[in-house]
Amino acid sequence: MTDNPAPANSRKKLIIGSAAAVGIAAIALVVFVLPAEYGKDPTGLGAALGITKLAPTEEENIYLKRGLARSNVLLPLQESATPDETTLKATLAEHNIAQLPGTNVRTDRYVVELAPYEGIELKYDMAEGASMIFKWTATAPVHVDMHSHPFEGGAELTESFVIEDSVPSQTAVYVAPFTGIHGWYWQNRNLDGVTVTLETTGQVTAARTFSSGAEQPRPLTDEAPANAGAPTTAP
């Protein structure tokens, strides 16, 4: 059913035209599109014309830029580290950080199953200078955004410390840079369900989850990480 009355061009016109299309496309790609979209600049012309400046970089995320500007907030640990009080204290001492006095150390365990493309956010209430050790693992790599924002000023002042697309686990000590909520957004970008298990020990006072925009308080389990085995049964 070739009912398209397109005129047939001569062989010569077709060849010259198609070659020109490929040539112009190649030039446009190499000089403009690739430098602007991916920061790839094989000819150097992209930089000369100021096009590479358009390329998105990780640091261009304003939240991540703020978060990464801080030091002694996230102290990464070996994956094998146990998220208990001993390790927390040892890590803080190692970095010459004094533990915030007068705040109880509590433990928590959170297990969540994420359907494909489902995301959830877990946040802890922490005072400025409060610290916690945490370890989370996922049964398959997930997208994660570890971030926090102060109570005063709200989400506008969000700071991210890690934004990555495919992470299987994270173990670290976190020292709250301000009084507010601190935690993770996990999103399952796999085609199968994923279970994320989080264990924490630290000076947290409350927990809450955000799922599809709805905020829900969540009681801390006070389950010691050493004998942690059964999944959380939050009432």
Taking CB under 8 A as the criterion, the residue among 71, 98, 104, 191 binding other proteins is: 191
Q: Is 114 in the site for other proteins (CB under 8 A)?
A: no
Q: Is 212 in the site for other proteins (CB under 8 A)?
A: yes
Taking CB under 8 A as the criterion, the residue among 53, 70, 86, 116 binding other proteins is: 116
Q: Which one of 45-53, 66-74, 189-197, 225-233 is the stretch in contact with other proteins (CB under 8 A)? A: 189-197
Q: Is 98 in the site for other proteins (CB under 8 A)?
A: no
x/- mask, other proteins, residues 12-51, rule CB under 8 A, reads -xx--xx-xxx-xxx-xx---xx--xx-x-----------
Size of the site for other proteins (CB under 8 A): 43
Selection from 86, 182, 74, 85 nearest residue 128 by Cα: 182
Cβ(209)–Cβ(165) below 8 Å: no
Reduced to 3 states (helix: H, G, I; strand: E, B; else coil), residue 52 is helix
Residues 6+ apart with CB under 8 A from 162: 74, 144, 145, 146, 170
Place of tokens 């006070």: 222
Locate all alpha helices (DSSP H) within the chain, ordered by sequence.
Answer: 11-28, 34-38, 45-48, 62-68, 85-94
Residue placing its CB nearer to other proteins in the complex, 26 or 90: 26
Hey, which bits of the chain come out as E strands?
74-76, 106-114, 119-126, 131-150, 159-175, 180-187, 194-202, 206-211, 214-218
Taking CB under 8 A as the criterion, the residue among 52, 131, 160, 187 binding other proteins is: 187
Q: Which one of 9-17, 76-84, 144-152, 193-201 is the stretch in contact with other proteins (CB under 8 A)? A: 9-17
Reduced to 3 states (helix: H, G, I; strand: E, B; else coil), residue 75 is strand
Secondary structure letter of residue 128 according to DSSP: T
Cβ(204)–Cβ(110) below 8 Å: no
Taking CB under 8 A as the criterion, the residue among 4, 57, 96, 227 binding other proteins is: 4
Q: Is 166 in the site for other proteins (CB under 8 A)?
A: yes
- Minimum distance from CB of 66 to other proteins (Å)? 16
> Where on the chain is the footprint of other proteins (CB under 8 A)?
1-11, 13-14, 17-18, 20-22, 24-26, 28-29, 33-34, 37-38, 40, 115-119, 143, 165-166, 187, 189-191, 212-214
